[in-house]
Structure 1
Amino acid sequence: MDGEINKSMFIFKNVIGKGAFGYVWRVEKKPSRFPFAVKVMSKAKVFNMRSVDTVINEMKLLSQLKHPFIVNMNYAFQEKENLYLVSDFMVGGDLRYHLTLRQRRFSERQAQFIIACVILGLEYLHNNGILHRDVRPENILIDGKGYCKLADFGLARIWQPLNSSDTSGAPGYAAPEVLNRQNHGTEVDYFAVGIIAHELMLGKRPYPGNDRQTYKENVMKIQAELKKADTPESWNHEASDFINKCILRKPTSRLGLNGPNEVKSHVWFKDFDWQALLARKLNSPFIPSIKRKNFDRKNFILKPEEQESTLQIKMNQELLMQPSIQALFDGYKYDIDEEKRKELEREENEKKKRNKLK
């Protein structure tokens, strides 16, 4: 249908990210030129990596979620070869970029603000029964005012008591119970929060390891703990205590076991104005310069082993000609404008019903 959201409604400007299935573009929607970010995913790659459920799950979850501390979806649509997920454009880039390239360590005030933003995003998800399960600096995006939002819901799931088979999290941030394929809950997200806070404080993670096995061995070897001597002079030891309680290997002892209020009530956040943060009334102590492109172009260059051969391209084209393959992506569609129209219609109908009863 002509009125349905499609690729021609956007001006594709430049690549700002790379994912497992394709690239993320900065785009502008016609005719307003309002900026968005579009994740373009190759259907063939999604199918070949057995990730159809992952991308469908992400779209369905995001269609039910709206919050100032998550990166919200605005549109989703598809063509024969690709899926398109259109979300809020975050001009400040991701936290990983600023950790590694721009500013290896952060001040305590900056770190506290960043972590508080993440906690509010997690509070919303957890109160809706959702585990993010992939909290890491790459999935924390920063807007033009320095507010951080959680992104990438591909591994997010509605919590189920028997979920030991669900693998999640990246090396460096995954909780021990996930690494050991045990049932897990919201505590896995707070473990990752502790790891990130450690990284913001000291410029490194408490448990090294870039591959899953090495990381797991280091996590299981010894309980990491920050001593008073480890805390930078410009930081309060309450920050170290917060980190230590988040990165406890035993989930039943970990901060956050009893919900987000337990995390928000930690002494490190004593006198912190959570309501003002939620209302976006606080001035962020870390605001990335919007005059610079807050991403590293080197990350978007395909390595030789990532480039598809002529044979692979032909096989993918033949794959996507099969109706059964295309049917796997049925329903991959979302239009926030259409949802708003439906909501207005519902409100109007409810209003008419109330007037009839008077």
Structure 2
Amino acid sequence: LNLHRITEREKNSDSTPERKIEDLTKKRIEKARLKIGKQTGTIGTVSKRSKTERLLNGRYLFDKNEVIGEGHHGRVLRGIDLGTNMRVAVKCLKKQFKCTMGRFQIADRKQKKRNAEIIHEGRMMLQIEDLPNIVSLLDLVETPRKVYYVMPLANKDLSDVVYRRRMTESCARDLMRPIFEAVKGLHDSGYTHRDIKPENIMLYQGGFAKLGDFGLSTEFGYHSGLQVVGTPAFAAPEVLGQFHRTEKLAWLNYKRADIWSLGATLYVCLAGRYPFDDSRPMSEQLSSGIQFPKNRFQHYSAHAVDLIQKLMDVDPLKRISVDEALNHPFFTES
């Protein structure tokens, strides 16, 4: 009888990685539903309203042609929540399949891993939903072929501003303070972002700035060693292999790599350009230190320059922490 029960249980169980991920995501979604009172789910429908309009889960209306942004694995579309009449951003990510005899099937480990990564960002956003100045996840919907993340629609991201004109010091301070606070919340909770840059800082009506895009985020110790992740222009030297990498301190280096990225982002806010260029090898530029051209920094305080230098110390163990940065005169003596 016991053997029969075990056999039936094994027969009816689904222990595939996709099922485990789906079950974990359902638990996170259910927790969020009970906590914030919003209807969410990992299984949903997309109905066709017109040639280009789609209705997601009977609530979120979006147009396939209203593209806000586009990446390697999907697109971000402009939409509206019919329940609240609030404008939303719908991030649409395609799962990877192979087509055999007209049927879609997951093919190999690589595709399984990619599909797990698609779910990862949603899982991360649910885990950190209570942290300050983080882009919130309104809904997560999974269909057989796609995953949709629904988030509040931002007016623009920081890259729309900093590459067009340089900011005043007070403006940069007001925009970056909440981002430093967001990173502090992540680090205090045991997470790293790993891709901090202007494109991932969302600006909302009223001038509020929030940190978004957690596709590369991870918990401390999740990886055995440093991997080359993020955007090279904002990645720390140890991530790019320009500094001795200590495997036992990988979690610390990832944490300090976020600090470097904060410094590089602040530099771009003030200078309107990257801290480094392609004129010389990266190793040579790092050895000579961060440059502060007079024509770009003459109107900024010594506190601003000092903070950037401490955030972008080539040695990750000598970089200041996010707590020390928030207590730096650049933020406290405004």
TM-score normalised according to structure 2 size: 0.71
- Structure 1 residue 253, shift from structure 2 partner: 1.1
Q: Which residue in the other structure is 1:55 paired with?
A: 118
For the pair 1:200 / 2:269, whether they are aligned, the reply is yes
For the pair 1:131 / 2:192, whether they are aligned, the reply is yes
AA paired with 1:207? F
Q: Which residue in the other structure is 1:222 paired with?
A: 288
AA paired with 1:64? Q
Structure 1, residues 225-273: CA drift from partner, whole Å, max 9, x if none?
437x4663332111011111111110111121xxx3211111211245x
Matches within 5 A, 1:1-358: 4=41, 6=45, 7=56, 8-13=58-63, 14-44=66-96, 51-66=114-129, 67-91=131-155, 93-100=156-163, 103-160=164-221, 163-180=224-241, 182=246, 183=250, 184-209=253-278, 216-217=282-283, 220-226=286-292, 229=294, 232-256=297-321, 260-271=322-333
Per the alignment, in what secondary structure is the counterpart of residue 38 of structure 1?
strand
Aligned mates of 1:27, 1:175 — CA distance in 2: 36
Indicate the structure whose relative CO is greater, using CA pairs within 8 Å and at least 6 residues apart: 1
- Structure 1 residue 119, shift from structure 2 partner: 0.2
AA paired with 1:187? R
- Structure 1 residue 142, shift from structure 2 partner: 0.2
Percent of aligned positions that are identical:
25
- Structure 1 residue 218, shift from structure 2 partner: 5.6
- Structure 1 residue 145, shift from structure 2 partner: 0.9
Conserved? CA contact 2:74–2:92, under 8 Å: yes
Conserved? CA contact 1:42–1:82, under 8 Å: yes
- Cα 1:3/1:233, change in 2 over 3 Å: closer
- Cα 1:49/1:143, change in 2 over 3 Å: farther
Conserved? CA contact 2:232–2:240, under 8 Å: no
Conserved? CA contact 2:132–2:185, under 8 Å: no
AA paired with 2:114? S
- Structure 1 residue 165, shift from structure 2 partner: 4.0
Aligned mates of 2:122, 2:222 — CA distance in 1: 23
AA paired with 1:188? A
- Cα 1:120/1:90, change in 2 over 3 Å: same
Structure 1, residues 70-97: CA drift from partner, whole Å, max 9, x if none?
1111111122221101112212x11112
Aligned mates of 2:40, 2:274 — CA distance in 1: 48
Q: Which residue in the other structure is 2:3 paired with?
A: none
- Structure 1 residue 215, shift from structure 2 partner: 7.3
Per the alignment, in what secondary structure is the counterpart of residue 297 of structure 2?
coil
Structure 1, residues 210-233: CA drift from partner, whole Å, max 9, x if none?
9xxx87546555322437x46633
Q: Which residue in the other structure is 1:343 paired with?
A: none
- Cα 1:195/1:35, change in 2 over 3 Å: same
- Count of residues paired in the alignment: 261
Structure 1, residues 162-221: CA drift from partner, whole Å, max 9, x if none?
6424332201001111112652232111101111111111111112259xxx87546555
AA paired with 1:56? I
- Structure 1 residue 52, shift from structure 2 partner: 2.8
- Cα 1:230/1:266, change in 2 over 3 Å: farther
Aligned mates of 2:161, 2:216 — CA distance in 1: 24
Q: Which residue in the other structure is 1:329 paired with?
A: none
- Structure 1 residue 54, shift from structure 2 partner: 2.4
Aligned mates of 2:127, 2:269 — CA distance in 1: 32
AA paired with 1:59? G
AA paired with 2:297? P
Per the alignment, in what secondary structure is the counterpart of residue 226 of structure 1?
coil
Which one has the bigger strand percentage? 2
- Cα 1:35/1:129, change in 2 over 3 Å: same
Aligned mates of 1:21, 1:218 — CA distance in 2: 35
TM-score normalised according to structure 1 size: 0.66
Per the alignment, in what secondary structure is the counterpart of residue 116 of structure 1?
helix
